[in-house]
Chain A
Amino acid sequence: MARAITNERKIINTVAAWGIGLLIFFPILWTILTSFKTEAQAINDPPLFLFFDWTLENYAVVQERSNYGRFLWNSIFIAGGSTLLGVIIAIPAAWSMAFVPSKRTKDILLWMLSTKMLPAVGVLYPIYLLFIQFGLLDSILGLTIVLMLINLPIMVWMLYTYFREIPGEILEAARMDGATLRSEILYVLTPMAIPGIASTLLLNFILAWNEAFWTLNLTAAQAAPLTAFIASYSSPEGLFYAKLSAASTMAILPILILGWFSQKQLVRGLTFGAVK
């Protein structure tokens, strides 16, 4: 929609968009600011915006109480592992649905999505019992598997929509040239689908990172990720806005930074076939 536009129009657009953007971002900004205040300043009336005694004390307190690094690593391993594992399983499935569709393809796809509608808490006991059986309780492996399964439908669907946009003729041609199925997927399809795969990876990494039910209920000390870290700050005694803000900032900052750096890839792929 590139059209000639007056400068006046552009100024109005800019002001409006920045205003709304800042409004939406404000809760995060405010949390980050609050994390640098003292507890008393955090509840000051009128609220203090920038002019207060900036302090790192809250971060020191939080770090002293819980070993942030370990939670962070667990989060990275679990989110990363489940995403990688998921994409390995999802690519062949999406390929087969996109290029060799059958009558049931659509049904299978929708059925896969419907598995996501199971209420997690309703199956907590069965899953917990299974985890005990297999010795997966409080292990990164166990959580990786569960989060992979939770996000697998979304992955398959996202990849499916990208693969469908790749013209089938190219694959036909490769096949004519004697490419095997494996090399077809590896050397022809995958490179073309890289933007799609990248954004699938990113979105699922974010979803896995933020998952807060299973990660909390299936872990203890060893495999607990950042969601468990935050659960120990949600209601401390007395004034706690500043400490809560510091813990919150620590929990969301890594993913926020990742998201920002990769937002081009994320946005490019995040269509779910919304555009035809």
Chain B
Amino acid sequence: MNLSRREQLTGRVFLIALIVVTLLPFVSMLSAALQPRGTVPSGLEWPSDPQWGNFADAFTAANMGALLRSSLLIVAGVVPVSVLIATMAGFGLGQLRVPGGRLVFGLFLLGLTLPFEAVVTPLYYQMQDLGLLNTRWAIILPLIGLYMPFAVFWMRAHFTNVPVELSEAARVDGSSTWQLFWRVQVPLARPAIASLTILMFLWTWNQFLLAIVLVDDATKRTMAGALGAFQGQWGTDLVLLCAGSLLILTPTLIVFLIFQRQFIKALIQGSVKG
């Protein structure tokens, strides 16, 4: 690298400024969350007597236990099924190359840029007809469908790049298509599957629009949907709102920090491939 020292220094300074700007909202929220209840906090001001108890209050006020359980149930309903059927479809389209597969794939591509707002109204009436409104199924089922364009696209991209000779060799050995899929292809696809799983977990956990439209009860929503309700309820109590928001963020942050490397890889690949 032939960068002059000065340029490198400016680059660093910019990066650090960027980091500060990224972190400030969190720090400001924390400083507000630690003020005594009932006071009016201002911008960024470390409290003389930090009220960590506010978090306990927020935990109760937000009904965190129920929220966590609800979000986990929704994730459990959406992610494994989506990953499985998208992997199967990717395998069918990318490896088995079913006749008419191009057409089907084109159909999936149609949905890649689709804003959820474009289908949320009919989905509401559809869920009403199915009697699923205000249940977690109203979030789970549509999300699986809405994830398919990206998920199938993603898995197909992986399977297209696996040499077909591999499948042919397995067939010569007399294995059935399912054995070929489950024993040979899926283990090889593990990195692609892992990234997809991470992205879907994140998107589900953070899904807001479907949650507020299709489910009224905050304790049956996703985390993001519940946070929206929490803001509606405690919007005027800034201290509690900040404490509750930080609390609701914590599970995501913990998961992110644990799987940080995989997350970043998935997010970079996810946007580049998309």
Chain B binds chain A: no
